[in-house]
């Protein structure tokens, strides 16, 4: 048995020592530079005020013109080529012109370039030298599945000092992603390596998921075997614990013992990042729950919300179905919105009572919703800065509802709550006490990853020497 453990650890270690070193090094980069995305602040800053002077068709007519029979939300935005309705269903999007209901998808590079320039101008970005550089379903920065409804994408390089590139959806004309030269460079040394994220692999989600899950599991097995050997090989001499090894082997043994807890929990939690429902629940609504939240509203009643004129400062207007009725939501600022209720009353947000009524249809025995605290153990953030997240506990099942747009932010059952600790907390150290002291958290993450990197480097040296001896013999 011992010989089998030694051999398995030796050859798994040789196979994965470089991968371990890469994970620890890139983990430091990822802590400070996240994967590129268009933040809500950037997206909203790129919106122009809705032009109320031009006549627009009724929302119900826009839904009919879109051809989406499962429409649950409709947005009105101002593009440089006129106001556009973006009609959304659970899995598809359609854009139609608000003037006549004609399709408003982006069919040419010239239109995409004009939309990107308008967005850049709203954000104060230099787009004097902007040019379309690609039109594709995927590239290195647009592989996440969240972009699927917007593909294909036009990539526009602004030609500014920061090397900014904008991605325009051919389906809706929305700018859905931006990157800078600095973000791209750091992420090539961070997220792309850490997640094993080359475009050719990541564009096939199932293949990427299987490959990374398997590699992570084998790496975890190698680490566990190493921990077992590390403890077994300890020696007690004159009441002092020592290693029987010398040189690089001793360094690997000693650092491994010091870092055992961190290495095992970090590799284990990293493997769990690829769980995707294998051991823990995914936090997704069941079909019955989704049927409640995505119940198709009677879009003809949307006209009742429009008896009140749209605010002159609105930069985005949304009609949404919530608990069987239609609300109108106007975004005037990043942290300011107006909600027009079915009774024509106005409010800033959904009330706790409105949330309670819809949650009662999701599950039985739900308690009254309460606002989630900023320092909650299971944090959640609204799409609107400062808006409350309402949590309703239905026995062992919790629902977090965004008070700004009525969407389900989190579905937390016991499995999902456990996953928050065994994955997120162990892998990113986002324990509430450390989140409250970010500098201490930074030091711990960098220090522990650096320790893991040194440990991995010693394994690389040992592995290289073993390979040289094996092949030389």
> What pLDDT, on the 0 to 100 scale, is given for residue 234?
87
C-alpha to C-alpha distance for 214 and 32, rounded to whole angstroms:
27
Q: For residue range 156-180, what is the model confidence (pLDDT) as tens digits?
A: 999 999 999 999 999 999 999 999 9
pLDDT band (50, 70, 90) for residue 53: confident
- Alpha-carbon dihedral of residues 47, 49, 54, 55, nearest 10 degrees? 80
Instruction: Tell me the per-residue pLDDT of 226-262, one tens digit each, with 9 for 90 and over.
Output: 999 999 988 877 667 788 899 999 999 999 999 999 9
Which pLDDT value is given to residue 236?
A: 73
Average pLDDT value over all residues in the chain? 95
Say which residues have a Cβ less than 8 Å from residue 460's Cβ, sequence separation at least 6.
Answer: 17, 18, 21
Q: Where in the chain are the domains?
A: 2-33+196-277+435-472
In angstroms, the CA 312 to CA 49 distance is: 8
Backbone phi and psi for residue 325, each to the nearest 5 degrees, phi listed first:
-130, 165
Q: Quick one: average pLDDT of 200-226?
A: 96
Taking residues 105-121, what's their average pLDDT?
97
CA 271 to chain centre: 17
Entry pTM: 0.94
303 phi/psi in degrees, rounded to 5: -60, -25
- CB contact set of 216 (below 8 Å; sequence gap of 6+): 267, 270, 271, 273, 274
Give the pLDDT score at 54.
Answer: 83
237, β-bridge pairs = 240
* Position 388 confidence tier, pLDDT thresholds 50, 70, 90: very high
DSSP state of 48: B
pLDDT for res 229: 93
Please write the tens of the pLDDT for every residue from 23-37: 999 999 999 999 999
Under the banding of pLDDT at 50, 70 and 90, the label for residue 471 is confident
Mapped onto helix, strand or coil, the DSSP state of residue 313 is coil
Reported as a single tens digit per residue, the pLDDT across 439-462 is 999 999 999 999 999 999 999 999
How many residues would you count in the chain? 473
- DSSP 8-state secondary structure symbol assigned to residue 380: -
- pLDDT, tens only, 82-109: 999 999 998 899 999 999 999 999 999 9
pLDDT for 3 equals 86
């Amino acid at each position: 048995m011992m010989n089998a453990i030694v051999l398995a650890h030796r050859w798994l270690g040789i196979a994965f020592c470089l991968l371990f070193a890469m994970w620890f090094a890139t983990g430091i980069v990822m802590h400070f530079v996240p994967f590129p995305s268009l933040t809500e602040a950037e997206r909203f800053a790129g919106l122009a005020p809705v032009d109320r002077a031009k006549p627009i068709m009724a929302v119900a007519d826009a839904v009919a013109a879109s051809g989406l029979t499962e429409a649950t939300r409709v947005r009105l935005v101002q593009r440089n080529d006129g106001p556009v309705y973006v009609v959304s269903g659970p899995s598809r999007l359609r854009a139609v012109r608000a003037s006549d209901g004609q399709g408003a998808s982006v069919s040419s590079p010239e239109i995409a370039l004009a939309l990107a320039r308008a967005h850049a101008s709203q954000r104060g970005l230099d787009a004097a030298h902007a040019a379309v550089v690609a039109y594709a379903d995927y590239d290195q920065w647009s592989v996440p599945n969240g972009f699927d409804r917007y593909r294909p994408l036009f990539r526009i390089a602004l030609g500014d000092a920061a090397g900014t590139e904008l991605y325009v959806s051919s389906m809706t004309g929305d700018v859905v992603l931006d990157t800078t030269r600095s973000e791209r460079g750091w992420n090539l040394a961070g997220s792309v390596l850490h997640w094993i994220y080359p475009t050719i692999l990541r564009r096939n989600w199932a293949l990427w998921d299987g490959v990374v899950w398997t590699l992570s599991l084998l790496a975890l097995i190698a680490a566990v075997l190493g921990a077992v050997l590390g403890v077994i090989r300890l020696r007690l001499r004159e009441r002092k614990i020592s290693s029987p090894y010398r040189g690089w082997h001793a360094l690997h043994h000693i650092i491994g013992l010091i870092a055992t807890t961190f290495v095992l929990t970090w590799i284990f939690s990293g493997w769990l990042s690829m769980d995707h429902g294998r051991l823990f629940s995914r936090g997704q609504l069941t079909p019955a729950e989704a049927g409640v939240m995505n119940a198709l509203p009677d879009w003809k009643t949307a006209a009742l919300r429009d008896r009140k004129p749209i605010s002159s400062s609105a930069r985005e207007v949304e009609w949404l179905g919530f608990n069987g009725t239609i609300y109108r939501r106007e975004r005037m600022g990043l942290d300011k919105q107006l909600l027009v209720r079915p009774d024509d009353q106005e409010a800033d947000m959904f009330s706790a009572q409105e949330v309670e009524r819809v949650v009662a249809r999701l599950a039985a025995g739900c308690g009254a919703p309460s606002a989630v605290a900023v320092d909650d153990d299971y944090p959640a953030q609204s799409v609107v800065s400062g808006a409350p997240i309402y949590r309703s506990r239905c026995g062992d099942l919790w629902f977090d509802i965004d008070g700004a747009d009525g969407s389900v932010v989190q579905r937390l059952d016991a499995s999902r709550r456990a996953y928050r600790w065994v994955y997120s907390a162990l892998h990113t150290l986002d324990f509430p006490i450390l989140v409250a002291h970010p500098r201490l958290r930074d030091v711990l993450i960098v220090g522990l990853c650096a320790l893991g990197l040194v440990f991995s480097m010693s394994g690389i040296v040992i592995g290289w020497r073993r390979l040289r001896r094996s092949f030389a013999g």
